[in-house]
Amino acid sequence: MIRLLRRYFYPSWIRSGRVVIGLLIVLAVLAAAILAPVLAPHDPAEQDLMLTFQPMRLGSPFPLGTDGLGRCVLSRLLHGASLALKVAFIAAIGAMLLGAALAYAAGYLGGWVDWTIGRAVDVWMSFPPVVLSLILMVGLGTGASNVILAIILVDWTRFCRVLRSEVLVVTRRDHVAAARLLGFTHWRTLLLEVVPATIPLLITLLALEMGIAVVVEAILSFVGLGVKPDQVAWGQMIADGREAIYQAPANLLAPVAAIFVTVAGFNLLGDGLRRTLDVRLVEGRG
Amino acid sequence: MSLLVARGLTLEAEVEGDIVPVFRGLNFALEPGRVLGLVGESGAGKSMVGRTIAQLLPPGFRVSHGTMEFDGADLVAMAPEHRRSLLGREIAFIPQEPLTALNPVLSIGAQLDEHHRRLGVRGRRTLREYALAALAAVHLPDPAGLLSRYPHQLSGGQCQRVLIAMAFAGHPRLVIADEATTALDVTTQAHIIALMRELQRASNTAVLFITHDLRLAAGVCDDVAVMYAGDIVEIGPAAQVLGASRHPYTRCLQLANPPMLGTRRALYALPEQMPGLRALARLNGCRFAPRCPVKADYCLRIDPPLEGDLHRSACLRPGLVETIEVADQLAPPPWRPAGETPVLALDHVSKTFTTGTWPRAVEVAAVRGVSLRIAPGEFVAVVGESGSGKSTLGRLVVGLEQPSAGRIALAGTDVTAGDEAARLHRVATVQMVFQDPQSALNPRRRVASIITQALEAEGAKFAVREKRVRALLAEMGMPLELGVRMPGQLSGGQRQRVNIARALCSVPRLLVADEIVSGLDVSVQAQLLLLLHRLRQDHDFALLFISHDLSVVRHLCDRVLVMHGGEIVEEGPTETVFGWPRHEYTRTLLAAVPR
Residues B489-514 have pLDDT tens digits of 888 888 999 999 999 998 899 999 99
Mean pLDDT for B438-447 is: 90
What Cα–Cα distance (Å) separates residue A160 from each residue in A98, A104, A114, A153, B349?
8, 8, 11, 12, 39
**Are A247 and A118 in contact, with CB atoms under 8 Å apart?**
no
Asked if B439 has any chain A CB less than 8 Å from its own CB, the reply is yes
What Cα–Cα distance (Å) separates residue A182 from each residue in A73, A87, B505, B515?
63, 44, 9, 20
Q: Which fold has domain A13-282?
A: MetI-like fold (1.10.3720)
Give the pLDDT confidence score for residue B305 in this predicted structure. Answer: 87
Name the DSSP class of B311: S
Same fold, B4-90+172-323 and B344-443+487-592: yes
Q: Is the pLDDT of residue A99 over 50?
A: yes
Give the pLDDT confidence score for residue A2 in this predicted structure. Answer: 54
d(CA B135, CA B102): 15
Handedness of CA B353, B356, B359, B362 (dihedral sign): negative
Tens of pLDDT, residue by residue over A5-34, are: 544 444 455 567 888 899 999 999 999 999
Mean pLDDT for B466-470 is: 92
Element housing A64 (H / E) = none
Chain B nearest-CA distance from A123, in A, is 21
Q: Which fold has domain B344-443+487-592?
A: Rossmann fold (3.40.50)
**Are B132 and B142 in contact, with CB atoms under 8 Å apart?**
no
Q: Is the pLDDT of residue A168 over 80?
A: yes
Residues of A in contact with B491 (CB under 8 A): none
Three-state DSSP state, A219:
helix
**B4-90+172-323 maps to CATH 3.40.50.300:** yes
Chain B nearest-CA distance from A195, in A, is 11
Tens of pLDDT, residue by residue over B301-339, are: 888 888 888 899 999 888 888 888 888 888 788 778 878
Q: Is the pLDDT of residue B284 over 90?
A: no
Give the pLDDT confidence score for residue A282 in this predicted structure. Answer: 46
**Are A33 and A85 in contact, with CB atoms under 8 Å apart?**
yes
Phi and psi of B355, rounded to 5°?
A: -115, 155
- Is residue B351 packed enough to be buried (19+ CB in 10 Å), middle (13-18) or exposed (0-12)? buried
Most confident of A141-145, B152-156, B408-412: B408-412
Tens of pLDDT, residue by residue over B504-546, are: 998 899 999 998 888 788 888 999 999 999 898 888 899 999 9
Task: Please answer yes or no on whether A188 and B398 come within 8 Å at the CB atom.
Answer: no
How many residues make up chain A in this entry? 286
Contacts of B365 (CB under 8 A, 6+ apart): B350, B351, B352, B566
Q: Is the pLDDT of residue B293 over 60?
A: yes
How many residues make up chain B in this entry? 595
Listed residue (B443, B491, B482) closest to A175, CA to CA: B443
Give the pLDDT confidence score for residue A279 in this predicted structure. Answer: 53
Q: Is the pLDDT of residue A283 over 50?
A: no
Residues 383-402 of B with CB under 8 A from A: 398-400
Give the pLDDT confidence score for residue A15 in this predicted structure. Answer: 62
Q: Is the pLDDT of residue A284 over 50?
A: no
Beta bridge partners of B224: B37, B236
Listed residue (B464, B462, B491) closest to B479, CA to CA: B491
Chain A nearest-CA distance from B4, in A, is 25
**Are B256 and B214 in contact, with CB atoms under 8 Å apart?**
no
Strands B4-15 and B312-313 come out as unpaired
Residues of B in contact with A173 (CB under 8 A): 439-440
B359: preceding bond cis by omega (within 30 degrees): yes
**Are B229 and B57 in contact, with CB atoms under 8 Å apart?**
no
Task: Please answer yes or no on whether B43 and A1 come within 8 Å at the CB atom.
Answer: yes
B16 → closest Cβ in A8, A183, A279: A8
Task: Please answer yes or no on whether B454 and A5 come within 8 Å at the CB atom.
Answer: no
**Are B315 and B246 in contact, with CB atoms under 8 Å apart?**
yes
Residues of B in contact with A196 (CB under 8 A): 442, 444
Number of residue pairs across A and B with CB atoms under 8 Å?
A: 79
**Are A181 and B432 in contact, with CB atoms under 8 Å apart?**
yes
Task: Please answer yes or no on whether A182 and B276 come within 8 Å at the CB atom.
Answer: no
Name the DSSP class of B59: T
Task: Please answer yes or no on whether B278 and A184 come within 8 Å at the CB atom.
Answer: no
d(CA A53, CA A40): 18
Phi and psi of B148, rounded to 5°?
A: -95, 5
Strands (E), B162-315: 174-178, 206-211, 223-228, 231-237, 312-313
Mean pLDDT of chain B: 89
Chain B nearest-CA distance from A186, in A, is 11
Residues of A in contact with B506 (CB under 8 A): 182-183
d(CA B287, CA B232): 11
Three-state DSSP state, A114:
helix
pLDDT band at A248 (very low <50, low <70, confident <90, very high): confident
With pLDDT > 70 as the criterion, what percentage of chain B qualifies?
Answer: 100
d(CA B445, CA B468): 17
Residues 38-57 of B with CB under 8 A from A: 43, 48
Give the pLDDT confidence score for residue B403 in this predicted structure. Answer: 93
What Cα–Cα distance (Å) separates residue A6 from each residue in A57, A285, B496?
54, 11, 21
Chain A nearest-CA distance from B312, in A, is 27
Listed residue (B459, B457, B493) closest to B476, CA to CA: B493
**Are A8 and B16 in contact, with CB atoms under 8 Å apart?**
yes
Listed residue (A98, A104, A117, A94) closest to A191, CA to CA: A104
Element housing A271 (H / E) = helix A250-277
B284-287 CB contacts, 8 Å cutoff, 24+ apart: B286/B314, B286/B315, B286/B316, B287/B228, B287/B229, B287/B230, B287/B231
**Are B3 and B31 in contact, with CB atoms under 8 Å apart?**
yes
Output the CA angle B257-B263-B267, nearest 5 degrees.
Answer: 30
Sheet holding B510-514, edge to edge: B430-433, B510-514, B542-547, B379-383, B559-564, B567-573
Give the pLDDT confidence score for residue A245 in this predicted structure. Answer: 84
Query: CB count, 10 Å around CB of A136?
Result: 19
Three-state DSSP state, B327:
coil
- Scanning every residue of chain B, which has its alpha carbon at the shortest distance from the alpha carbon of A179? B453
Asked if B426 has any chain A CB less than 8 Å from its own CB, the reply is yes
Strands B379-383 and B362-374 come out as unpaired
d(CA B81, CA B68): 17
Query: CB count, 10 Å around CB of A172?
Result: 12
Element housing B543 (H / E) = strand B542-547
Three-state DSSP state, B365:
strand
DSSP assignment string, B460-515: --HHHHHHHHHHHHHHTT--GGGGGS-GGGS-HHHHHHHHHHHHHTT--SEEEEES
Residues of B in contact with A8 (CB under 8 A): 15-16, 278
- Is residue B425 packed enough to be buried (19+ CB in 10 Å), middle (13-18) or exposed (0-12)? middle
Residues of A in contact with B43 (CB under 8 A): 1
Helices and strands, number each (H, E), in chain A: 13, 0
Q: How far apart are the first and last CA of chain B?
A: 32
d(CA A123, CA A130): 15
**Are B539 and B507 in contact, with CB atoms under 8 Å apart?**
yes
Asked if B97 has any chain A CB less than 8 Å from its own CB, the reply is no
Task: Please answer yes or no on whether A183 and B398 come within 8 Å at the CB atom.
Answer: no
- Scanning every residue of chain A, which has its alpha carbon at the shortest distance from the alpha carbon of B503? A182
d(CA A22, CA A270): 8
Give the pLDDT confidence score for residue A90 in this predicted structure. Answer: 96
- Scanning every residue of chain A, which has its alpha carbon at the shortest distance from the alpha carbon of B426? A181
ipTM higher than threshold 0.95: no
Q: How far is CA B389 from the centre of its chain?
A: 20
Mean pLDDT for B352-362 is: 81
Listed residue (B393, B386, B346, B347) closest to B367, CA to CA: B393
**Are B450 and B441 in contact, with CB atoms under 8 Å apart?**
yes
Task: Please answer yes or no on whether B426 and A181 come within 8 Å at the CB atom.
Answer: yes
d(CA B15, CA B276): 11
Give the pLDDT confidence score for residue A8 in this predicted structure. Answer: 47
B444 → closest Cβ in A182, A188, A197: A197
Q: Where are the domains of chain B?
A: 4-90+172-323, 101-170, 344-443+487-592
Give the pLDDT confidence score for residue B512 in this predicted structure. Answer: 95
Task: Please answer yes or no on whether B432 and A184 come within 8 Å at the CB atom.
Answer: no
Contacts of B27 (CB under 8 A, 6+ apart): B6, B7, B8, B9, B232, B306
